[in-house]
Amino acid sequence: MSRIEDRFVTMRERRRKGLIPFVTAGDPNPQVTVPLMHALVSAGADILELGVPFSDPMADGPVIQRSSERALAQNTTLSTVLDLVREFRKDDSVTPVVLMGYVSPFETMGYDIFAKTAAEVGVDGVIAVDLPPEEAEEFRPLLRANEIDLIFLLAPTSDAGRIAQACSVASGFIYFVSLKGVTGASHLDVRPVAEKVAEIKNATELPVSVGFGIHDSEMAEKVAAISDAIVVGSSLVHKMEQLADRPDEIPAAISSVIKSMRHAIDGDDRTIIGLMR
């Protein structure tokens, strides 16, 4: 059983909804990333989503685009990201880590080399935003051979055929993009999200995580109620941008946001932070 699968099984047994924070590796500098990852886990994160900086992050809004620019300015490469995961694993062998990015860096390193190195350092899953299922036939078996989940995105516009296709080849969980647009949007209507999540869950036994448009504790609580987990990114990255010239303050500031969201999601039946660590 993979770390991702094990984590979702444990959450289901404890009736806990997953909280998955996204941060861009190397933003505002690589020295911040590992302490921040540990702080997020201590604050109540269940899975960590680590962005691989890329020069043309087409699915991301301005906030995350700028985070990639800051990381790239610090010479953060895919190799750097893998080294950061290796460093994180020295003190945390249980929290699942998912790399989220675009296919070009993985392809440039070489799918086989990446898959073997990622498994060696402790990566559990990969989201390649611009890699649809029908173009993943080379990458997917290499990841699977190294026990790494390839996680696919579904959108509000995904029809039944597309949902079935993605669910048939995905592993780990399904990432549902809750709205039409890019990361950082704030006009999320939970009702159609709930309907689409239900449609996806009818097509798969995989957990369904929802991301995009979750910008505060109130929205986190609403979306967690209709999904297995939520992904929070732009609101965290925005706060990191505000503190870019004071990087030592970032872990505490971002973990405070996650603690607030964890409290909102758990409500009166709060799960003790750190219970699964």
Show pLDDT as tens, one digit a residue, over the chain (277 residues). 799 999 999 999 999 999 999 999 999 999 999 999 999 999 999 999 999 999 887 777 889 999 999 999 999 999 999 999 999 999 999 999 999 999 999 999 999 999 999 999 999 999 999 999 999 999 999 999 999 999 999 999 999 999 999 999 999 999 999 876 544 445 668 899 999 999 999 999 999 999 988 889 999 999 999 999 999 999 999 999 999 999 999 999 999 999 999 999 998 554 434 444 4
Give the containing element (helix H, strand E) for 58.
none
pLDDT at position 184, please? 44
pLDDT at position 226, please? 95
pLDDT at position 80, please? 98
Token look-up 């898959």 returns 115
Question: What are the structure tokens assigned to 141, written together?
Answer: 């078996």
d(CA 39, CA 113): 30
Question: What are the structure tokens assigned to 275, written together?
Answer: 């219970």
Give the containing element (helix H, strand E) for 155.
none
The half-sphere exposure of 228 on its side-chain side, counting CA atoms within 13 A, is: 25
The ranges assigned to domains in the chain are 3-269
Amino acid at the residue 139: F
d(CA 75, CA 5): 33
Beta-bridge partner residues of 251: none
The half-sphere exposure of 191 on its side-chain side, counting CA atoms within 13 A, is: 0
The half-sphere exposure of 98 on its side-chain side, counting CA atoms within 13 A, is: 31
Assess whether 5 carries a catalytic annotation.
Answer: no
Which among 64, 65, 32, 91 is positioned nearest to 243, based on CA atoms? Answer: 32
pLDDT at position 277, please? 43
Assess whether 120 carries a catalytic annotation.
Answer: no
Give the predicted TM-score (pTM) of the model.
0.93
Annotation: CATH topology of 3-269:
TIM Barrel (3.20.20)
Contact residues for 176 (Cβ-Cβ < 8 A; gap 6+): 153, 154, 155, 193, 196, 197, 200, 208, 209, 210, 211, 227
Query: Which of left, alpha, beta for 259 (phi over 0: left; psi -120 to 50: alpha)?
Result: alpha
- 137: helix, coil or strand? coil
Contact residues for 135 (Cβ-Cβ < 8 A; gap 6+): none
d(CA 39, CA 90): 15
Phi, psi of 36 (to 5 degrees): -65, -40
Beta-bridge partner residues of 176: 154, 210
d(CA 214, CA 143): 29
Candidate list 27, 46, 60, 149, residue with the active-site label: 60
Candidate list 27, 46, 49, 124, residue with the active-site label: 49
pLDDT at position 274, please? 44
Burial of 155 (0-12, 13-18, 19+ CB in 10 A): middle
